[in-house]
Structure 1
Amino acid sequence: MRDPELDWTDPHCPVARTLDLVGDRWSLLVIRDAMDGARSFTEFQRRTGIARNILTDRLRRLTSHGLLAQRTASSGRRQEYVLTDAGRDLFPVILTLRQWGERHAFSPGEAHSTLVDRHGHPVPELAPTGADGTRLDAGTTHVRKVQEPARP
């Protein structure tokens, strides 16, 4: 997905490209709220407290990059925003950020919201595993860099 509007931070790194698209606070909070059922400009603004001009920009960017889509609301009177497949694919990212925050951004015993499944049970910790089932972390993985073509 090469976007002429973007100057990629690191054109070969998937993490850098992702951050170029959704790496600011407001974009991820809009995605979070869309996952939690927000659809209208007013809902996003109320939930996040974001300034109107910044929200307008983030909704435009998230829509133009295919993370949100606009459609006519069932009332037929206004537009609403819905997650696309690409936007829904950010669920594990949001979940991982949430779980990291639960472990590291709150004091022990401090109250915070909890993500639960449709039965009301807390969502289990997300833990990446390798093909053999062992848990993966920064010590058990490495990045295979893209080889730049030789210049004549």
Structure 2
Amino acid sequence: MPSSRGTRKDGPLISPASGPGHWRARLAGLAAVVLVVATAAWVVVGRDPDPAPRTHTVVYEITGPGGRSPEIRFATEGVNSTEKAEAVDLPWRKELTISSGPGLSVAQVMAANGQGESISCTITVDGHVVANNTAKGEHATVSCSNMITPAVAGQG
């Protein structure tokens, strides 16, 4: 029965912990560890910073030739809060400050048309028009919405 060490004609078995392959194996292991550490450092240092809370000036506008909207609903805090205005003379404009971050916020306005031929909505965020829509016909409903993304820390 052969021994667990075995025999070779050209000499004894060399354990992997010693001999010519030992340093290559250690070097390969060390290279793997360096690669893992470098990758982890890149992930931690190279990732985007966390979003910073920021406020935005949001302007809702409703216009139409009918001169009046029976109801306008609009988002006030960017997430869960809305308000309603009833029997509103057109054009109508509402300016709010809405916070975004760390998650998304929503700017949204909806208006019902009275007896005019059309009604339009516009949303402006920080001076840029981000949504614009028109609905035609008496008693039509128009809506505009836009997602407000939080700013990245250190960026505008």
**Structure with max Cα Rg:** 2
Larger strand proportion, structure 1 or 2? 2
Question: Which of the pair has the greater relative contact order for Cα pairs under 8 Å at 6+ separation?
Answer: 2
TM-score by length of 1: 0.17
